[in-house]
A and B are shown apart, each in its own frame.
Chain A
Amino acid sequence: MASSSAARPQDPERSAAVRASLAVGLAVSVYGLSFGALAVASGLDIWQTQVLSLFMFSGGSQFAVIGVIASGGVAAGPAAITGAALLGVRNSLYSMRMAPIVGGPPGRLSWPRKLLAGHWTIDESTAVSTGQPTLRGQRIGFWITGAVIYVGWNLTTLLGSLLGNLIGDVRMFGLDAAAAAAFLGLLWPRLSSRQPIAVAAGAAVVAAVLIPWLPAGLPVLIAAAVAVVVGVTNWLGARPAQGAQQREGAQP
């Protein structure tokens, strides 16, 4: 990549963070197209779809809401809300990790910036940020990834929902299968060891078995109990040092 700023002192931290941010940000924005199209196919209008991307701004939770509405309608509302919130719990973990990074020393974040940082704390901004070697690179990576994805995700959501409105039948274009594949694509990178694989298999079986017996949305929530049982007992658990999630500092 050619840089015209030869006169400026080199800033490898910044350019590495910017490159990573743009690559991840642009790739992820494309998901917005599939989200927008599937959302209107699930019965949301363009405004409701856009509000999800503007305010919820968390792909997994957004897909969960439209998936439950698609199969259970408005009656499944409480299950849709609970499912989205439970999927959003991981964002709390991310923001706990990001809080010391995004403000940077020694200044504390002002309220508007704290709000914006929280809003932009998602899988991708956390991943790019924690992948940078220096604190400054981590801060740049977080903010640029957050900004690029926020703009890209919302523009492509709008485009997708406009396209989705032109398409009549969801099933004819395989959009129902696309939603299943989207969940699988979000799940895949998390299947890094035996424990998450066992939880995924158990939860899928529990949800599938319960489908005929419970209203839409509930099988998914009950399947979440598999995670609680395995997580609390640490069945098949790795030792902390081998964990897929690298954390600074060993556990006592």
Chain B
Amino acid sequence: MTIWNIVLISSAAVLGLKLLGYLVPPSFIERPTPSRVATLLTVALLAALVATQTLQHGSGIAIDARVPALGVAALLLVLRAPFIVVVIAAAAVAALLRLLGWMS
């Protein structure tokens, strides 16, 4: 599998899922369980991605500058900072800690 395969197949899948909603009868969404599972699926995937993106290093776990950077991001989200500010602040914290040599 090449990167192009991944890009094209995943794009087709996501676009297909969007179009699906215009083809199926809306009665599906009225049923509470499928709708609840779909909503929680997004939450679980995003949370799992936060965990792996923060901790994964090669095939193991590393506690490095990403952890305090994520802490700052969480703090800014509590303070209702805009998304882009949160992302830039996290990058800046990690970059600064590495520049100072305090964390890898």
Q: Interface residues, chain A, CB within 8 Å of chain B?
A: 27-28, 30-31, 33-34, 43-45, 48, 51-52, 55-58, 60-61, 63-65, 67, 69, 71, 74-75, 77-78, 80-81, 83-100, 109, 114-115, 117-119, 121-122, 171-188, 190-191, 195-196, 199-208, 211-212, 215-216, 219-220, 223-228, 230-232, 234, 237, 240, 245, 249, 251
Contact = CB atoms under 8 A, between A and B. Distances in A.
Interface in B15-31: 15, 17-22, 24, 26, 28-30
A interface, over-half SS = helix
Interface in B44-101: 44-56, 59-61, 65-66, 69-70, 73-74, 77, 82-84, 86-96, 98-99
A114 B48 contact: no
B53 A226 contact: no
A74 B3 CA distance: 6
A183 B41 contact: no
Nearest to A230: B40
Closest 8 CB pairs between A and B? A95-B21, A174-B94, A181-B90, A231-B37, A177-B94, A177-B69, A174-B91, A223-B48
A231 B2 CA distance: 35
B26 A96 contact: yes
A232 B38 CA distance: 10
25 contacts: A48-B7, A80-B6, A80-B10, A85-B10, A85-B14, A88-B13, A91-B14, A91-B18, A92-B24, A98-B21, A109-B22, A115-B19, A118-B21, A119-B19, A174-B69, A177-B93, A185-B73, A185-B83, A187-B43, A215-B59, A223-B44, A224-B48, A231-B39, A231-B41, A234-B36
A81 B6 contact: yes
A173 B91 contact: yes
A60 B40 CA distance: 14
Given A27-B82, A86-B41, A237-B36, A81 B10 contact: yes
A196 B40 contact: yes
Nearest to B80: A188
Instruction: Determine chain B's interface SS by DSSP, over half rule.
Output: helix
A120 to B, nearest CB: 8
Contact of B13 (A84, A115, A190, A199): A84
A177 B61 CA distance: 15
A119 B7 CA distance: 16
Contact of A43 (B3, B4, B95, B99): B3
Nearest to B37: A231
Contacts of B32: 234, 240, 251
A180 B50 contact: yes
Among B14, B21, B70, B94, max chain A CB count under 10 A is at B14
Nearest to A54: B11
A208 B6 contact: no
Contacts of A99: 21-22, 26
A204 B21 contact: no
A241 to B, nearest CB: 12
A111 to B, nearest CB: 10
Contact of A181 (B51, B56, B87): B87
Contacts of B96: 174
B38 A51 contact: no
B3 to A, nearest CB: 6
A174 B90 contact: yes
